[in-house]
Amino acid sequence: MSTDPSIVVVRNEVQADYEYHCDALASYFPGARAVDFPAGERFDPDTVDGVVLSGSTAGVYEADDRPWIRDQERLVRELVDREVPTLGVCFGHQVANSALGGTVRHEGMTARLVEVELAGDPLFAGVEPVVAASHGDVVTDAGEDMAVIASTDYYHAFGTRHRRAPLWTVQFHPEFTGDIRDQLAEDFDWTETDYPFADVNAPRVFENFRSLVTGPDEHVAHRS
């Protein structure tokens, strides 16, 4: 009998007013365990099948003031070593690359729908090339063994994946849909573009990740 995978959603938001993006992400993983990392909650990587690292209004370069960031970088390295399927979203994308020796810096806010070039990776199966971005920081150099799998005209390392371990990361927010567009406009000075939210089906990323968690052999065949 098959059972649902044990997935942990690591919540990284540090400001209560912005926790709705963590709520939106968690809604795509019903039954997952939520871990509030900034609040000091932790988990044993040996006890889970998959991990999702959420976004945050914190920056990875704030580790001196936010010691939990270095804890999460250590967690990322442990997940890679143990080959636990992991997906990093926005801040999760940045902290994963930073943990593996990459660099992140602040370059100014982008909050809009963007066109993205997606590699032929199983994480992006069926995903349309228009996604929601809301970030001020960028990965300027990907981490060691992290291959770029998504790019935009303003951001080369918009998505990455580890060449040997089942680690994927995306700068965009698959959880952002038209349902929270007004909240995004209020909080992040959302910019309208020629792309409507009707063109966005990025939550498919979460479905694909769940499939990768339940079928771990798939990541081996795609190694680059």
* pLDDT of 222 over the 70 cut: no
Assess whether 62 carries a catalytic annotation.
no
Produce one character per residue of 100-121: b if its CB has 16 or more CB atoms within 10 Å, e if not: bebbbeeeeebbbbbebebeeb
Percent of the chain with pLDDT over 90: 88
Task: Report the C-alpha gap between 160 and 146 in whole angstroms.
Answer: 6
**Predicted pLDDT of residue 221:** 34
Domain at 7-221, CATH class: alpha beta
Q: What is the pTM of this model?
A: 0.94
Q: Could you tell me the residue ranges of all domains in the chain?
A: 7-221
* pLDDT of 2 over the 70 cut: no
**Predicted pLDDT of residue 216:** 53
Rg, C-alpha atoms of the chain: 16
Nearest to 8 by CA among 74, 123, 85: 85
Task: Report the C-alpha gap between 71 and 42 in whole angstroms.
Answer: 10
Could you tell me the pLDDT band of residue 220, with boundaries at 50, 70 and 90?
very low
**Predicted pLDDT of residue 215:** 82
* Annotated active-site residue in 90, 93, 135, 219: 90
What is the tens place of the pLDDT at every residue in 91-146?
999 999 999 999 999 999 999 999 999 999 999 999 999 999 999 999 999 999 99
* Annotated active-site residue in 21, 135, 175, 219: 175
**Predicted pLDDT of residue 223:** 33
User: Which token pair is 102?
Assistant: 């990459």
User: Which token pair is 11?
Assistant: 């919540």
Q: Is 50 helix (H, G, I), strand (E, B) or coil?
A: strand
Assess whether 175 carries a catalytic annotation.
yes
**Predicted pLDDT of residue 4:** 84
What is the tens place of the pLDDT at every residue in 135-189?
999 999 999 999 999 999 999 999 999 999 999 999 999 999 999 888 988 898 8
Assess whether 41 carries a catalytic annotation.
no
